[in-house]
Structure 1
Amino acid sequence: MSGPDQLLLLAGGGHSHALLLRRWLMRPQLKPKRTAVVLVNRGSTALYSGMVPGLVAGLYSHEDCAIDLRDLCQRAGVAFVRAEITGLDLPRSQLLLAGRPPLQFDRLSLDLGCQTQHAEGQLGVKPLEPFLQWLKQAPPSLTIRGGGAAAVEVALALRAQGHQPELLLRGEQLHLGSPAANRAGERLLAEAGIPLGRGVGPERPADLACTGSEAPPWLAASGLPCDPQTGRIWTEPSLAVEGHPRIFASGDCGLIRRDPRPASGVWAVRAAPLLAINLKRSLEQPKRALRPWRPQARALQLLGDGRRRAVAFYGPWSLGPSRWLWRWKEAIDRRFMAGFARTGAMAAGAVMACRGCAAKLAADPLEGALARLQPGEDCPPPEDAAVLAATSTGGLLLQSLDGFPALLDDPWLNARLTTLHASSDIWACGAQLQSVQALVTLPEAAAPLQQELLFQTLAGVRSVLDPLGVPLLGGHTLEGRDGAGLALSLSVNGSVDPQRHWPKGPLQSDQVLLLTRPIGTGVLFAAAMAGVAKPQWIDAALETMQQSQAPLVELLQHYGCSACTDITGFGLLGHLGEMLGAGQEVELDPGAIPALAGARTLLEQGQASTLAPSNARALARLDPGGGVRLSAPASAVDQQLWIDPQTCGPLLAALPASRAEAALEHLGQLGFAQAAVIARVLIA
């Protein structure tokens, strides 16, 4: 067995974990050997806290401040799971997640960030995502409860954006660490015209709370030893949790009992080197003593005023405000963020073969092999699902087979997408799923890790089937050799009344072609492998791909669908061509074809899936006599989009033109708001 034999979970994408990943990326020998590593975080990006006030003030964009965790994990050889952490089951060594099965671990490292303490019904500044969303419609005049550095900096940033904030203090003074710092803070607030409400009790409501921080409540509920005031986990100087040597905590959720420090990005950053050393020792040499750490007693603090000036605080001393201090702070922050970016050479490296349905064999070798298998005979017309037999009640029994190498490192989500993709062959025939069997290929690893991978994979399959009442009958498992990774193939079975069965064609003269959702997954995931896709584009694509198209079968039946296919590996033009009979012709509207966010931008940059060049043969359909006429000129980007291979792609359905508008309205009500009529039949 040459694969990993232990699993390390990194729970949370805080600064310590982000720097840990960067450390492994730059020095791979520091990464624990024979260990599979998974990072779990509720978002695919993590905001660098040092630049958030500048983001609020409008000095930085969201992209300037965001660390792309998915890309960082890919480069560091770490699996990424986007999920909300809800708890910890210590006896079973499991991390609990919202809406999906728990994850098993041998070692667990917690770097979860924090939330605003004593918010008490008011919106807290942390977690940052709801606060930043609220800012988009924040009132012109607002009140902020809090008197620490974060409250002062947020107030100044909001003032720089044109708001009229008031800072409400519980006592009479700010709490910036020293009398000199307090005086400097009051001077900044006075210059900005921000009033201070002193001695304000909790009975006065506030719009925003910036009143210190506390750890997520589920940590204390899990049974870990926690500080009763803040809920932060008590750790040894090694960052191992007291009484739990297999669990580590750092950043804002951890607190060294012997040397407690306030929650701050400074100590989270300083903890990363020690965390890397001790995780490696714990996994590789569990009997060896862990290295202790005594964090510095003080840290330099640079506070921006939202107008490109800053104040420096260190112990009892303060300096500023001045523009050169701001330039110094900005240089430090941008250098920190630059450490996570790909270099030009890395982004432009060798082309990697795409996964998902883009790993499908190209059409030429496929057709060539089938032609050799039956010399002198025409290949049978392609069908989404084969009709096996008639049932005793007169229905048709259908079967299809699909699968591919894992598109994602997250086995649960990968299996969910694979199941939705395979099931669309049945739905494209107007049928309902009846049963599924699975063939799972697992990478070489220790038996407990293979068990976890198989469990997550089968649970992902069932996340699609269970709501439909469809059984997973069983299947077969294999172990991949010579470095082969996770792969999943599914045999899907369905049934349909013969009168409701949709073939791919023929088309009828009064029909239009309706596409149920946008396309562009091939180029998006190819660009993600190269590190040039924005994380929000991949997040949005995954949300679309996870939406089941099972409800569309009855909807399209209701509106008179008579022919249908699903758009998968051969792209829109390739599968549209399969619907056309001899002499048939459709008029395609280039401007009507919806694309996933970012797909066109990436195509303009020259990005493409590795299957796209072989799919380009379908562009011959646009030639005279090819069966596809254009209603308007099409750009090169349009044409590249039409040959982009799709995973979990849309259905393409032929409907009576008179009923298309009503069908689109109904689709919008089901959450398919980007469905569109993209073509009309000219010659049937």
Structure 2
Amino acid sequence: MNNQKIPNFKVLVLVGAGHANVQVLKHLSMNKYNGLEVILVNDGFSAVYSGMTPGLIENYYKIEEAIIDLPKLCNNSRAILVNDSVTKLDENKNMVYLKEHPPIKFDLLSLNVGSQTKTDHLEISDYAKTINVKPISNLINQLNIIDQIISKKEIVNCSVVGGGIAAIEVSFAIKERFKEKININIISKKLLREKNIKNKTKKILEKFLKLKNIKIINENALSIDENYVISEKKDKILTDISIISSGVMSLPWIEESNINTDKNGFIRVNQTLQTENYKHIFAAGDICSLNFTDRPKSGVMAVRQGEVLKKNIFKFLLEQDLALFKPQSNWLYLIGTGNGNAIMNWKNISLSGHLIWKMKEFIDKKFMNKFKFLKPMSGKISSQTLKLDSKIQNQISINMKCEGCGSKLSKNLLVDYLEKNQSHNTKILSDSTSLKFPNNSITQSIDHIKYFKSMNPYIFGQIAYLHAQNDILASGNKVNSFSVSLGLPNNEKKSQKFFLEYFMEGILSESKKDGGIFASGHTYTSDEPGITINMNGLDFKNQSKADAKEGELIYLTKPLGIGYLMSAFMNNAEEISSFVYKKIINNMTQSNKNILEIINDNEVKILTDISGYGLASHLIDVCSSSNLSAYLDLKDDLLIMNNFEILLKYKSSAYDDNRTASENMIHFKNLITTQKKNIFPILYDPQTSGPLLLSVKEDQKEKFEKSFMTNYGFFPIKIGLFTERKDFSIIV
């Protein structure tokens, strides 16, 4: 039986990881739609949940409890995460333009990008210290500014400009965080004007504000300078830091688009959450304005819209009738007041106390638990197939996809890309490129790595280049030129175009730093996308594995752990948060290129790079070639993430083979302490775009480490030294 896979033919782009779009991704983790490519564009690897923000500010919650881990969510949803911000939207050409990545073409778009704090009514001095409440991530990321001010002053004066629920909650949370070290003034003439807030609730809030010694100044702010907030009555209110929560405004690229907006620049949507003039564009959360009723912007509203959005996007794709969003006329307010207390406002009920806070905590955690993946997704996933147009249906009806040389990318796609990048090869479409070398001696290597599921293909392109670059650097040489073979998914053209552009632009972003010539390329389609790079290097300071000398110190240029950490990530390990994932990506995209400057000025030798076979195997090769042994002193600075539990629990699929190939050449003489016993598996962990292994003379140690720090901004990792040949290659 021919089990034909349906090629992806629709591209769904989710812009912003707001409370609605994350529910779309959660739906995708439990439902598969054949014929759909999903891309999330978000500025950051995590999304802060607004309901937990007050508790996060006052240190009731840890940061990991209050954020949605986007790499993990996308990985489980079979979606690609692109960490970037939008600069322009062309809704007629279906293009989203990004700040640092190539544009993305979409069939269906969902905008859940939040809003920004309204500041156009304020005159703010360049010397004023201010923090905007929106976007929420901005507020959380800048709390350290207040921490720094408080570390220098005995008492800090803080002005909160605005009088809505957000301003009140932030004031309570800031007061709880810093207690008597901070004085807070809420400056607003419009205190608690939100619809449905009862007078009894307002009185309770005013009572708590007075109890916490938070002062209300019933005036509007006009300007903020270095030391004062100036009110409309020209009163000067002493301030060291001002938190602005005076309403919200739209985003420039939304207002510059052709999408219908209201008078304030927010996207007008109907009851199905579609924009008025583009039915293939949906919007939810703060950025949208309902065209059929008036409701305030809030996290609660975004969550409720998400329940409809996650249905309608897929109903639209399946050509089914869409559901209607029916907003409540009255909704529950739970307002944190600090110290484990909250106020409830519901219809005619106003209550306060610790039990109200616990109820709020229960509701917030219930929502957040939807996005926790504590083990690999198991069980039956619902699968549906999107309706295909006749051209693609004919393609599927063919009994066998072309293999061999026929499994290539469309020529039009390839030519379009070459023309866009002004390739000299576009006009003649030659089969090869003639290269001139200053001498007859070159170094050549080839590397292939398979695509990491859900990873931004642009970042993967960077990693693939740096991984291949290591082989040239390990010989002490400079990259001169390279050729690329891209394995692209068996998808429809829009999706293939996305992967082609992102793979190549990622590769070229790194090759430009080398001045390397892109000589030739090849494409093929595959169920296992990946990148192969053949690289040429020119002699710079030619070195080999046989150059190590007895007594020389052994260094690595960066820490290890890619293999087991990515395995843990793929298995939804709780310890691999979005912050750890970012560290993993930063490690793989850290180039070793600057080492050439260091070896030119120091008596340093590059002996090898650490890649798929792991540290032990590569070091054994050096010892065998140099007729030496290596004494290793393994410490926790060797690890990207200092967590031995993960190292012992998770292993890459290549780990066992690496260990079998190397362990007979290793003697664990000094493996006495628990820490050393826990760290030894790192010897066999495979690395992608890993470190270089260097040898340095003992008397050059300080000079080398200082030079390395100057070039990289961190110190190299000393792991041992070479000794005379023993019975074992490595002694730990």
TM-score norm. by structure 2 comes to 0.81
Alignment partners' CA distance in 1, 2:325 and 2:438 = 73
Matches of residues 134-533 of structure 1 in structure 2 within 5 Å?
A: 134-138=142-146, 139=150, 140-161=156-177, 162=179, 163-171=181-189, 173-176=191-194, 177-203=197-223, 204-205=228-229, 207-229=242-264, 231-285=265-319, 290-315=322-347, 317-343=348-374, 346=377, 393-394=438-439, 396-409=441-454, 410-480=456-526, 484-497=527-540, 500-532=541-573, 533=576
Q: State the Cα deviation string for residues 3-57 of structure 1 (Å, max 9, x = none).
A: 111100011111101112222334x1xx544111111111222111111101112
- In structure 1, what is the Cα distance between the partners aligned to 2:42 and 2:245? 23
Q: State how far apart, in whole Å, the 2-side matches of 1:392 and 1:446 are.
A: 40
Please state whether the residue corresponding to 2:44 is helix, strand or coil: coil
Q: Which residue of 2 aligns with 1:365?
A: none
CA distance in 2, matches of 1:405, 1:540: 20
Structure 2 distance, partners of 1:408, 1:33, is: 17
* Count of equivalent residues: 628
Match of 1:202, SS? strand
- Write the distance in 1 (CA, Å) between the matches of 2:603 and 2:378: 48
Provide the rounded CA distance (Å) in 1 between the counterparts of 2:475 and 2:218: 70
Match of 1:128 among 107, 120, 136: 136
* Fraction of identical pairs, as percent: 26
The alignment status of 1:14 with 2:49, answered yes or no, reads no
Q: Which string of whole-angstrom CA distances, capped at 9 and with x for unpartnered residues, describes residues 526-554 of structure 1?
A: 00000112221110121122122222122
Instruction: For residue 670 of structure 1, give the secondary structure of its aligned residue in structure 2.
Output: helix
Asked if the contact 1:184/1:318 (under 8 Å) is kept, the reply is no
Contact 1:537 1:597 in 2 (8 A): yes
Question: Does 1:4 pair with 2:42?
Answer: no
2:716 corresponds to which residue? 675
Structure 1 residue 124 displacement after superposition: 0.4
How far apart, CA to CA, are the structure 2 residues paired with 1:21 and 1:192?
Answer: 41
Match of 1:384 in 2: none
User: What are the superposed Cα offsets for residues 111-141 of structure 1, whole Å, 9 maximum, x if unpaired?
Assistant: 1122222275431012233322332341343
Cα shift readout 1:636-678 (whole Å, capped 9, x = no counterpart):
3221112111111011112222223222222222235141222
Partner residue in 2 for 1:115: 116
Judge conservation of contact 1:510–1:657 (CA < 8 Å) in 2.
yes
Q: Aligned partners of 2:34, 2:376: CA distance in 1, in Å?
A: 27
Distance across 2 between alignment mates of 1:172 and 1:273: 32
Cα distance between partner residues in 2 of 1:45 and 1:435: 37
What is the CA-CA distance between 1:144 and the residue it aligns to? 0.9
CA shift for structure 1 position 494: 1.0
Shift of 1:289: 5.4
Residues 490-544 of structure 1 deviation map (CA, whole Å, 9 limit, x = unaligned): 11111115xx201112311242222111111111100000011222111012112
Q: Distance in 2 between matches of 1:408 and 1:501?
A: 37
Instruction: Specify the SS of the correspondent of 1:136.
Output: helix
Amino acid at match of 2:78: G
Cα deviations by residue, 1:122-176 (Å, 9 ceiling, x for unpaired): 3101223332233234134311111111111111111112153423333164434
Question: What secondary structure, in the 3-state scheme, does the structure 2 residue paired with 1:207 have?
Answer: strand
1:97 counterpart = 2:79: no
Q: Distance in 2 between matches of 1:247 and 1:128?
A: 24
Amino acid at match of 1:249: A
1:311-352 Cα shifts (integer Å, max 9, x gaps) = 11235x341212221121111111111222225574999xxx
Amino acid at match of 2:13: L
Cα drift, residue 189 of structure 1? 0.6
Asked if the contact 2:175/2:184 (under 8 Å) is kept, the reply is no
Partner of residue 379, structure 1 = none
Aligned-pair Cα RMSD in Å: 2.5
Cα distance in structure 2, aligned partners of 1:93 and 1:660: 57
Identify the residue that residue 354 of structure 1 maps to in structure 2. none
Which string of whole-angstrom CA distances, capped at 9 and with x for unpartnered residues, describes residues 262-293 of structure 1? 221111111123212321233232xx654432
Change in CA separation of 1:347 and 1:525 when aligned onto 2, cut-off 3 Å: farther
Distance (Å, rounded) in 1 between the aligned partners of 2:487 and 2:522: 9
Q: Runs of 5+ in structure 2 lacking a partner? A: 125-129, 151-155, 230-240, 381-434, 726-732
Amino acid at match of 2:584: A
Q: How far apart are 1:186 and its partner, in Å?
A: 0.9
Aligned partner of 1:560: which letter?
Answer: E
| 1:549 match | 592
Query: What is the rounded CA distance, in whole Å, between the counterparts of 1:41 and 1:151 in structure 2?
Result: 26
SS at match of 1:430: coil
Which residue, out of 600, 609, 632, partners 1:588?
Answer: 632
Task: Provide Cα deviations, 1:599-626, integer angstroms capped at 9, x if missing partner.
Answer: 534114x1111111111132333228xx
Larger mean CA deviation between 144-153 and 653-662 belongs to: 653-662
C-alpha separation between the residues in 2 aligned to 1:225 and 1:460? 35
Q: 1:576 to 1:178 in 2, by over 3 A?
A: same
Classify the secondary structure of the residue corresponding to 2:521.
strand
- C-alpha change, 1:9 and 1:172, in structure 2 (3 Å) is closer
Q: Which residue of 2 aligns with 1:658?
A: 699
CA distance in 2, matches of 1:305, 1:391: 71
- With over 3 angstroms needed to count, the CA separation of the structure-2 counterparts of 1:520 and 1:392, relative to structure 1, is closer
Separation of aligned partners in 2, 1:609 and 1:276: 35
Residue type at the aligned position of 1:118: T
Distance in structure 1 (CA, Å) of the matches to 2:674 and 2:299: 53
C-alpha change, 1:391 and 1:507, in structure 2 (3 Å) is farther
**Corresponding residue number in structure 1 for 2:388:** none
Q: Hey, what's the Cα distance between the residues in 2 that align with 1:659 and 1:514?
A: 13
Q: Is the 1:593–1:678 Cα contact (8 Å) retained in structure 2?
A: no
Contact 2:465 2:507 in 1 (8 A): yes
Q: Which residue of structure 1 lines up, in the alignment, with residue 392 of structure 2?
A: none
**Secondary structure in 1 matching 2:280:** strand
Question: 1:13 is paired with a residue of what secondary structure?
Answer: coil
**Paired residues of 1:592 and 1:676 also in contact (CA < 8 A):** no
Q: Distance in 2 between matches of 1:672 and 1:407?
A: 28
SS in 2 for 1:241: coil
Please say if residues 170 and 201 of structure 1, whose CA atoms lie closer than 8 Å, have aligned partners that are also in contact: yes
Distance 1:614 1:536 in 2: 30
The offset of 1:561, in angstroms, is: 2.6
How far apart are 1:226 and its partner, in Å? 2.5
Distance 2:296 2:528 in 1: 43
Q: Deviations over 1:393-415 (max 9, x none)?
A: 44521111101210243211111
Answer yes or no: is the 8 Å Cα contact 2:163–2:190 preserved in 1. Answer: no
Change (3 A) 1:514 1:672: farther
When the two structures are superposed, what TM-score results if normalisation uses the length of structure 1? 0.87
Q: How much does 1:429 deviate?
A: 0.9
